[in-house]
Amino acid sequence: MPNSHKELKNWVIEKSKSKDYLMMTDVAKDVQDIISGGPVPKHIKPIWPFISFTAFHTLPDEFKTIYGIKTTKLKSVILNFNLNFLKFTRPFLPPFFRLIPPARWARQRLRNKPELRFNDKSKI
């Protein structure tokens, strides 16, 4: 068992490059189906193609192979545009889109609700 984060990271990379070590499982297929298109909350539907494309095309090559993702120069240009667009626009987005739920909850606890409990999180 690796003793440090760096050793673990290297171990995972090494294993992922081993022939036939990674495989498409039912769980991996479920993840692919969810990221490909659903079920998606209504408020995110308009930007889901952007999220889906970016999620699949930022995977390491070994995972792209399993999911059947083909990389082309055009797709690389689109991916770079998407990532740069996100980098520059994200600070201006509302917190709901900018921050993941745990970050929003922590922010609320720090700012104005120090008594906020775990059970209250679903109401935010």
pLDDT digits (tens, 9 = 90+) for 34-48: 888 777 778 778 888
60, 50: one domain: yes
Q: Does the pLDDT value for residue 105 go beyond 80?
A: no
Do 107 and 63 share a structural domain? no
Mean pLDDT to the nearest integer, 92-107 = 75
Q: Quick one: 72 and 46 in the same domain?
A: yes
Residues 60 and 120 in one domain: no
- Tell whether 58 and 118 lie within a shared domain: no
- The answer on 79 and 37 residing in a single domain is yes
Q: Tell me what the mean pLDDT of segment 65-94 comes to.
A: 91
Name the range with the highest mean pLDDT among 18-27, 28-37, 56-65, 99-108: 56-65
**Amino acid at residue number 67:** Y
The residue-averaged pLDDT of 52-64 equals 89
DSSP per position, 55-119 = HHHTS-HHHHHHHT----HHHHHHHHHHHHHHHHHGGGS-HHHHS-HHHHHHHHHHHT-TT--GG
60 pLDDT higher than 80: yes
pTM: 0.62
Report whether pLDDT(23) > 60. Answer: yes
Closest CA to 63 of 31, 96, 97, 40: 31
Whether residue 59 is found in the same domain as residue 17: yes
> Are residues 76 and 42 both part of a single domain?
yes
The predicted structure's pLDDT at residue 10: 87
Is the pLDDT reported for residue 104 higher than 70?
yes
14 and 29 fall within a common domain = yes
- Whether 104 and 88 map to the same domain: the answer is no
The domain tally of the chain equals 2
pLDDT at 22 over 90: no
Residue 110, domain extent = 94-124
